[in-house]
Structure 1
């Protein structure tokens, strides 16, 4: 199956028509599916139950440095609030807009670092990367030194699964590479997906095929960790993306964007052909913007023409 070539099931398309944009009662944001600042579901239709996901490790810390409305890591916070902690590096101290750290836009010290959980209790949102125990922490990051989870667990000295913290970086790729070298992350072991799924993400990136969004990567890793053989597969005949509770909102956003483009007769942004076309356009713009090098020496004088007298 080509990357992202996926039709929206009729049942899901019918459900989409019943979702409504709603104003968050905590911060006043108008959104569909969930509030990206307070991490709570919004506009859920009658008869639709938002699942509670359970991660196979003790905790997941998401180092967040992207716009909340664009980042898929917010899905994990909404669906697994007790296990997911956000580390908000996106918000500057002088930022008075709505943020994960200040959902109501307040700048008061009592409101700093608080976010409303679905249970209505205030949960901390860290503003800096904490210290981690190298023996109880792994970073999901596909660098040259990374190994699969099952390869890492065959080594001695790693904490058991129920005592393990997984760190995930959610930011544009170039920024993520910088964050991975942060002094509090640099000494931690990297793990990568053993079986990366085809990405259905609709945002453009220039890293080519094999790259997935944050919540897709987290869901795939959770399946690999939970399975004996380390592969992620669903029931016969069913798309694994539709079954996974961690992908509940991702699936609906995918379907909403897909249906909107199809009904307008436009190409879907998540399809491989659309991504390739966008990549070609960006590369062409980069070539146009690249300054031309001027010749040096006698050739430069010849091309510049005769000098005018002073």
Structure 2
């Protein structure tokens, strides 16, 4: 089971402000089964693939389980056997270049929502429109998901009012798109992330940016000039259930796939104003399975 127990990059979130239940036994049970109640596709295909063991990726030859994190292609399972999800907004993930692809949960999002997720390797960052894009990252001035639309609309109105008087701020020129990873050359990964023809379901928000790296390496990306004008969004009231958190870091530091999932869930409820009915639960398809496998291994080893 050790091959599945990988130290994955975490997405930094804010400190949880919820009140812990006084019933310690209930809290203990929730901690043991944090992913219960999700509306997920059957894990039978992953169970069968795990029994077959690791296979070689047909593209790079690497030994992989379920998918190749280098080529962003499925290994041992087919695209027809996994859930594919459409998202209400486009997702961009900026990955730190010094981190190993195999340690990231960001690849889960790309494989499960191939048409709506793009992964870039820093320093490649697109040239974003600040009125249509937000950065999910904690810090001074960060707002909650509930307030995202209000702040974006205020920005849009303000920019329209001052457009004739205020010159645009010159931004750093983005590197070529070839710096992005996981392009549409891979048929299993979906079509390229193209703005043309895409209409966001949450006007004016069109795109959401996440940083994929260890906490100690986030500063270089988060302070990049190309991201400074973006509205920052802070995920609150959330705790990670990742099985190997970064040493010395609180449980409010989410894995990247967790951060994407919780953002979309909050967006659905607070911005689309719709009752959430598991629409994005399958983003945790791989994550929830690995979580159960690792916990079972720990239990068998007497570590739980």
TM-score (norm 2): 0.64
| 1:77-102 deviation digits (Å, cap 9, x = unpaired) | 1111111111113xxxxxxxxxxxxx
2:268, 2:276 within 8 Å by CA — same for their partners in 1?
Answer: no
| CA drift at 1:130 | 2.2
| CA drift at 1:158 | 5.6
Residue 8 to residue 76, structure 1, CA distance change in 2 (3 Å)? closer
- Say which of 86, 108, 120 aligns to 1:54: 86
In the alignment, which residue of structure 2 is the partner of 1:266?
Answer: 303
Residue 32 to residue 142, structure 1, CA distance change in 2 (3 Å)? same
In the alignment, which residue of structure 2 is the partner of 1:116?
Answer: none
Helix, strand or coil for the counterpart of 1:266? coil
- Say which of 129, 132, 148 aligns to 1:133: 129
In the alignment, which residue of structure 1 is the partner of 2:188?
Answer: none
Alpha-carbon distance between aligned partners in 1 of 2:45 and 2:63, rounded to the nearest angstrom: 20
| 1:154-210 deviation digits (Å, cap 9, x = unpaired) | 2324676265111100001121123111011112110012442x3111232222122
Alpha-carbon distance between aligned partners in 2 of 1:179 and 1:61, rounded to the nearest angstrom: 13
In the alignment, which residue of structure 1 is the partner of 2:206?
Answer: 164
1:12, 1:255 within 8 Å by CA — same for their partners in 2?
Answer: no
Aligned residues: 221
In the alignment, which residue of structure 2 is the partner of 1:63?
Answer: 94
TM-score (norm 1): 0.62
1:194, 1:231 within 8 Å by CA — same for their partners in 2?
Answer: no
In the alignment, which residue of structure 2 is the partner of 1:79?
Answer: 112
Helix, strand or coil for the counterpart of 1:142? coil
Alpha-carbon distance between aligned partners in 2 of 1:200 and 1:233, rounded to the nearest angstrom: 24
| CA drift at 1:226 | 0.9
| Of 224-233 and 78-87, the range deviating more from structure 2 | 224-233
| CA drift at 1:7 | 7.8
- Say which of 286, 292, 295 aligns to 1:255: 292
1:141, 1:191 within 8 Å by CA — same for their partners in 2?
Answer: yes
Alpha-carbon distance between aligned partners in 1 of 2:250 and 2:86, rounded to the nearest angstrom: 31
In the alignment, which residue of structure 1 is the partner of 2:7?
Answer: none
- Say which of 174, 190, 210 aligns to 2:232: 190
Helix, strand or coil for the counterpart of 1:166? strand
Which structure would you say has the larger RCO, counting Cα contacts within 8 Å and 6 or more residues apart?
Answer: 2
Helix, strand or coil for the counterpart of 1:54? coil
Across the aligned residues of Structure 1 and Structure 2, the Cα RMSD in angstroms comes to 3.2
**Residue 6 of structure 1 pairs with residue 33 of structure 2:** yes
Alpha-carbon distance between aligned partners in 1 of 2:102 and 2:109, rounded to the nearest angstrom: 14
Gaps of 5+ in 2: 1-26, 157-199
| Of 250-259 and 222-231, the range deviating more from structure 2 | 222-231
Residue 16 to residue 165, structure 1, CA distance change in 2 (3 Å)? closer
Alpha-carbon distance between aligned partners in 1 of 2:128 and 2:210, rounded to the nearest angstrom: 13
Alpha-carbon distance between aligned partners in 2 of 1:76 and 1:220, rounded to the nearest angstrom: 13
Gaps of 5+ in 1: 90-126, 268-310
Alpha-carbon distance between aligned partners in 2 of 1:232 and 1:209, rounded to the nearest angstrom: 29
The higher radius of gyration belongs to: 1
